[in-house]
A = this chain, B = another copy of it.
Amino acid sequence: MVNVGLVGYGYWGPNLLRNFLQTNGATLKAVSDARQERLDLVKKNNPAVSVYTDANDLINSPEIDAVVIATPVFTHFDLAQKSLLAGKHVLLEKPMTSSVAEAEKLIELAAKKGLTLMVDHTFLYTGAVQKMKDLVTNQTLGKLRYIDSTRINLGLFQPDINVLWDLAPHDISILNYLVEERPISLNATGVSHTGNNIENIAYLTLNYASGFIAHFNCSWSSPVKIRMMLIGGDEKMVVFNDLEPSEKIRIYDTGYAHKTDEERKRVLVDYRIGDVFLPKIPHTEALSGMASDFVQSITQNKKPVSDSQIGIDVVKILEAADKSIKNKGKEVII
């Protein structure tokens, strides 16, 4: 049995609490939050759970084997480092840390201590992403050509991180899960409309040696909510629309290929537009799968799906994107 402590009971905390309460092999023992009213809420519905106002007390409690950290990102490194030093397994909310350097230190420390270090990229556990992973692994889509993602809506403007750090981790983690190749460079542009240099609209292009390209359109300023990812392969293409209640994945028997007409010195492109297939996606709560994976990675000493490598690869891209935005969109080598 893994005894779990949850640090941070804000927006996402209640979901983590609920899921870890129901995870086989785990006991949710304690919650810490600096705000007493949040702890009161925990206590009211879960009298058996211990509560702490100081995260250090939870981290150092001998009854805790694993710490789940759901606090603002700038606190992640410190809390995770303390937990690892105290011999505790760690699950970090996304994004993993505020910098690549921090993430590297945590990964090194976890390895030295032989502890699980995992990042909650929940989307990887959804039926839709699992289905897309199958399509890629089974070569159904053929050679991948591009991913194009739009994740826009109105608000909630974050006070400490820009819209890429807020919204893009979902899509970047999906990208890195589906595609083995890693980008060689990126360009990012954006704008802040709030006078605090925190971009509320931003665009990110990832460039790859193979000719693959990925693009992310993120905004807190759109009147409509869109959650759409296009995945283009040379055999088939996928549209992942996360707002569809059941038909999240559409597989298009669509493609394009080219050959060179040597005589006329020009490229000829063939298109194919065919049937569309909407596979049934099982309804499972992704967070429940993530919680189980964390527990099993501890008890069975196995690599979790959403491991620290995916976590640091996301931070690498976000950090480089910041650099590109501040350099007016200049290419940043990753």
Residues of chain A whose beta carbon lies under 8 Å from any beta carbon of chain B? 145-146, 148, 150, 152, 154-157, 159, 185, 187, 189-196, 198, 200-201, 203, 205, 207, 211-213, 215, 217, 219-224, 230, 232, 237-239, 247, 250, 252-254, 256, 258, 260, 266-267, 269, 271, 273-280, 328-331
Residues of chain B with a CB closer than 8 A to A256's CB: 154-155, 157, 193, 200, 220-221
Q: Is B203's CB under 8 angstroms from A203's CB?
A: yes
> How many copies of this chain sit in the oligomeric assembly?
4
Residue of chain B at shortest CB distance from A190:
B213
- One of B189, B224, B258 near A230 (C-beta < 8 A): B224
Knowing A267-B159, A329-B187 are in contact, say whether A201-B230 is a contact too (CB < 8 A).
no
Determine whether the beta carbon of B276 is less than 8 Å from that of A247.
yes
Q: Complex Cα distance A275/B226, Å? A: 18
Q: Which residues of B contact A192 (CB under 8 A)?
A: 211
CB-based closest 8 A-B pairs: A187-B329, A223-B252, A276-B278, A223-B237, A157-B269, A189-B205, A191-B213, A328-B331
- A203 x B201 contact (CB < 8 A): no
B267 touching A329, Cβ below 8 Å: no
13 contacts between A and B (CB under 8 A): A148-B217, A148-B222, A154-B273, A157-B267, A189-B205, A189-B213, A191-B212, A217-B217, A222-B237, A223-B250, A224-B230, A224-B239, A273-B280
Whether A221 lies near B146 (C-beta < 8 A) is yes
- What is the bound-complex CA distance between A128 and B70, given in angstroms? 36
Point out which of A223, A273, A329 has the most chain B C-beta atoms below 10 A from its C-beta.
Answer: A223
Docked-complex contact A187 and B189, CB < 8 angstroms: yes
A277–B280 touching, CB < 8 Å = no
Query: Are B203's CB and A191's CB within 8 A?
Result: no
Cβ distance A271 to chain B, nearest Cβ, rounded Å: 4
Q: How far is the CB of A247 from chain B (nearest CB, A)?
A: 7
Q: How far is the CB of A125 from chain B (nearest CB, A)?
A: 22
Knowing A145-B193, A273-B154, A331-B328 are in contact, say whether A239-B267 is a contact too (CB < 8 A). Answer: no
